[in-house]
A = this chain, B = another copy of it.
Amino acid sequence: MKETRICIIGGGGRLWAIQFMKDLAYNTMTHGTLVLYDIDKQAARNNVAVAEQVLRVNNSEGRFAVVAIDDLGEALSGCDMVIISIEPGKTSCRYGDLVLPEEYGILQSVGDTTGPGGIMRARRALPIFFDLAKKIGQFCPDAWVINYTNPMTLCTAALYKAFPAIKALGCCHEVFHTQNFLAKKVSSWFGVSTPDRREIKIDLTGVNHFTFVTKATWQGHDLMARLVEDLKDPETFADGTEVALKRLEQEKWFDCDQKIALSFLRDFNTLGAAGDRHLAEFVPWFLTSDENLHTYGVIRTPYSWRERTAKEKREKVFGDEDLKASLSDEEGVDIMRCLMGDKTMVTNINRPNEGQISYLPLGRIVESNGVLEEDSIRPIVASDPPLAIQNLVRQVSDVQEMTLQAIWEKDDELLFTAFLSDPLMNLSRDKARELFDKMLKASELQY
């Protein structure tokens, strides 16, 4: 494999960047230079040491030169790959995203992708992505760009808006959880040990975090048909309140039992393919109250925890044991290997619609399967879900398009139109406007 120059934008938040470095160390055929860039220059510099520790711990010293570069243009120059994972705005901005809507009765389980919180986060993030894309167009127009930042769809869309010839994709692991869930089902249905998630072949459609499985097979067995059978079991939708309360106590914000994913299968004939806490935010009928949400075993991630852990992450010191690499479930490095020509892979990706999703306009960022090869990503045509799912996904994608347009044109009136059109919006028009104005102010957002 060719020598590769990789630029990591962000990563000051540490956890994600460290996982990426471990994967890089694990994949022994990659080598080259790792450029670290963060608006927090010191954070980038600190990460150099961590990166070198990762390489050392995994017997990969010398495979990658690691440098922190303060100037963005310089950091990007000559890069083959650019990896973006940033936190748009200070953690305290998340207060406005999460707590203000709650005061008006709008509950959000994550609040970084959709809903009032997602829209405000986009309002902070997109100008940064517009700028990044322009710089990439200037300093490394042929580089492949992998975005990990939420709101995934909108951040990736922003890259294409500002530099239409960019070669970018959004990368997200939520779908893997669905594959793992199905892999466990396979184990129980067929009495085999749990297969690797990659053996669960799925056909996928939607937008990031609001993705749906239209077909799933394992060794040719139709898994959806079996799952539909399972719906009849009263256990499937048994009250999850007790589980939820335990999760609250244990701060297990990310755990779920796919009850909301399965609820889509029950009512819409299609399995949700993201964590329940994400799926719940795209429709009005799960987040009417915490009590309602808890019946699915799902809890909301509170602002207070985000505030506390952001600090912990920044300050964490890693022991060598923490940095030992093994086969991970993240795909960033695998994707990189494909694009560098080392192998071919079919996986879920966030990319502009070229026809892979029949029910969304061309150009929208969508999530579905693609074939990754050397310097090439080609989308696979996704099977159509039922009209009802198309309707839900299209609403979400339209609100995203309005949000993108509004931020691009610096038009907060159009942003309010998007805000009002969001599926979580259950306020009167005047209360909605009041909340919108407060949130703008809390984010200190001005053009």
Contacts and interface: CB of A to CB of B under 8 A. Distances in A.
Interface of A: 201, 203, 215, 217, 219-220, 263, 267-268, 284-286, 288-289, 292, 295, 341, 344, 346, 354-356, 358, 362, 369, 371, 373-376, 378-381, 383, 386-388, 390-392, 394-395, 398-399, 401-402, 405, 414, 416-418, 420-421, 425-430, 432
Contact of A219 (B341, B362, B388, B420): B341
A398 B402 contact: no
Contacts of A420: 267, 285
The 7 closest A-B pairs by CB, nearest first: A391-B398, A292-B428, A355-B355, A285-B429, A355-B381, A220-B374, A288-B428
Contact of A376 (B217, B289, B341, B427): B217
A191 B356 CA distance: 38
A215 B378 CA distance: 12
A263 B392 CA distance: 25
B429 A426 contact: no
A362 to B, nearest CB: 8
Contact of A375 (B220, B268, B286): B220
A319 to B, nearest CB: 40
A242 to B, nearest CB: 17
Contact of A373 (B201, B286, B430): B201
A50 B386 CA distance: 49
Contacts of A289: 428
B374 A201 contact: yes
B392 A203 contact: no
